[in-house]
Structure 1
Amino acid sequence: MPNSKGILLALGVSGIPAVLTLAAWGWRAMVLTSLAMTAYTIGALIAWSAAQRRRRCDEARRSASDITVALATELASGANTKSAFAHAVSQWPPPQPITRLESVWKLSHSLGVPAAELCHLLARQIRHEQDTGAKTRAAIAPLRATGMLLLALPLLGIALAYGLGTNPLHFLLTTDVGNLNLLLGLLLQGVGLWWIHSLTHRLEEHR
């Protein structure tokens, strides 16, 4: 979700079109334009934030896998177990739970299992999660494409209406029927995008 800076950015982006519509069609048009522009900007910020979160998770998994393999190699070569684990913990990427590496340490000490073997098992598990995540993203890519289409269709419809020689913005912003259509369209579009975002998020979290 966008933070307060993102919301302020959304309000700022909506400022210029709002001022233009105020000059052309009055206060009601300005309020509706601000609402529409803010809603679209927040939607774009949510999509960008989700993409950044996915990228950070992927990078953290790759880093965790590399650190675990390096740790296994160190331990297999006879390095001091305590110092090797301490070094790995200091490099462990934050989005990945550190308890996974701590569990390897505890199991090795309590059961006497070689820590290098447990590290290799953990690295394989993390790589398996990477592969599963990539397959999940590929499976839900059409759903995300549907969300982008849902976001773009109203804008394409307005452009098409202008191409046919009409003035859709004047209708949407200055007439009662147009205002109702605009508000209802924004509401339905927002519900649809929220549903797609929550569905893809749940699928990624429970893969």
Structure 2
Amino acid sequence: MSADLLAALLAFAAAVLILPPRGRGLHRLTASAPTRPVALNRRWLLAPLAVTVACVGGAQIVVSALALAVVASLVIIQRSQHRRRSAAAARRTQVIEALDVLAADLSAGRPPIDALEGAASICPDFQIAHAAAKLGGDVPRALEAAADSPGADGLRALAAAWQVAEESGAAFASLTERLAISLRADEAIHRQTEASLSGARSTARILAALPVFGIALGYSLGAKPLNFLTATPVGWLCLASGLGLTALGLHWTARMAEVQA
């Protein structure tokens, strides 16, 4: 592929990706037009670019691009899982702290609506329940809806406690305090489990990164492993098998960690 052709293709891709999408205001002004063709997503404009690169660069470019896409996807998935676990842990901590504030306010004699306002200032998941309480809505149902978020499972137990207190007249403050103590104990166990599983997750990531060091070792010995993996049919089979087994191993480790947690 010549430098001029490559530069032209890269400029075309940059123009397609950088151009801003049509704003909502313009969309509202033009959506009522009687006859307007359906607008295609601008990402489809990259299809001719991909076909051109494949035809000009050959199979080696296509295989290299696919391998890089798989590796990038694995990295993105691992980072997404880590962020999701961190967000769930942070939300569980917020729910426990909000329950402590809720129990303290109820024990001090504040009305449940005001107590929910204090809890909502600690954990945003209580805001729906606070709004429902102010409007005279179904607070347990609002808490159950908020409990669908990862890490907010404790709100489902709070919804049950709220409903029991409404139907039987039980002391809601003592129920909330016991629930906070129970959730704190569960969180301590969960953190111990996460600490014990961190070694397995780290080992899986190290094993997934070992092929990179193997490729570097091959180049240090004078071989060309990337040329073999991307330019020969046997190398394509080895590359596909290696990437597939790596993805399977990471997925298996993640599933085992989720079951243990």
Q: For residues 163-182 of structure 1, what are the structure 2 equivalents within 5 Å?
A: 163-182=220-239
Q: For residues 49-64 of structure 1, what are the structure 2 equivalents within 5 Å?
A: 49-64=80-95
SS, match of residue 223 in structure 2: coil
The equivalent residue for 1:6 is none
The structure whose Rg is larger is 2
| d(CA) in 1 for partners of 2:218, 2:173 | 66
Paired AA for residue 198 in structure 1? R
Q: Post-superposition shift, 1:201? A: 2.3
Q: For residues 103-122 of structure 1, what are the structure 2 equivalents within 5 Å?
A: 103-122=160-179
1:129 maps onto 2:174 in alignment: no
Paired AA for residue 181 in structure 1? C
SS, match of residue 78 in structure 1: coil
Paired AA for residue 233 in structure 2? D
The equivalent residue for 1:36 is 67
Higher relative contact order (CA 8 A, sep 6+): 1
- Of 214, 230, 233 in structure 2, the residue corresponding to residue 157 of structure 1 is 214
Per the alignment, do residues 160 and 22 of structure 1 end up closer, same or farther by CA in structure 2, a change over 3 Å counting?
Answer: farther
Instruction: Provide structure 1 residue ranges, at least 5 long, that are not aligned to the other structure.
Output: 1-11
Cα pair 1:64 1:92 within 8 Å, conserved: no
Cα pair 2:100 2:180 within 8 Å, conserved: yes
The equivalent residue for 1:9 is none
Q: Post-superposition shift, 1:165? A: 1.4
Instruction: Provide structure 2 residue ranges, at least 5 long, that are not aligned to the other structure.
Output: 1-45, 126-145
Deviations 1:159-196 (A, max 9, x none): 01111111111111122222221122112222212211
1:201 maps onto 2:232 in alignment: no
Cα pair 1:22 1:29 within 8 Å, conserved: no
The equivalent residue for 1:4 is none
Identity of aligned residues (%): 30
Q: Post-superposition shift, 1:92? A: 4.8
| Count of matched residue positions in the alignment of Structure 1 and Structure 2 | 185
Q: Post-superposition shift, 1:87? A: 5.5
Cα pair 1:172 1:181 within 8 Å, conserved: yes
The normalised TM-score by structure 1 is 0.79
Paired AA for residue 154 in structure 1? P
SS, match of residue 259 in structure 2: helix
Per the alignment, do residues 56 and 83 of structure 1 end up closer, same or farther by CA in structure 2, a change over 3 Å counting?
Answer: same
Higher helix share: 1
RMSD, matched Cα? 2.5
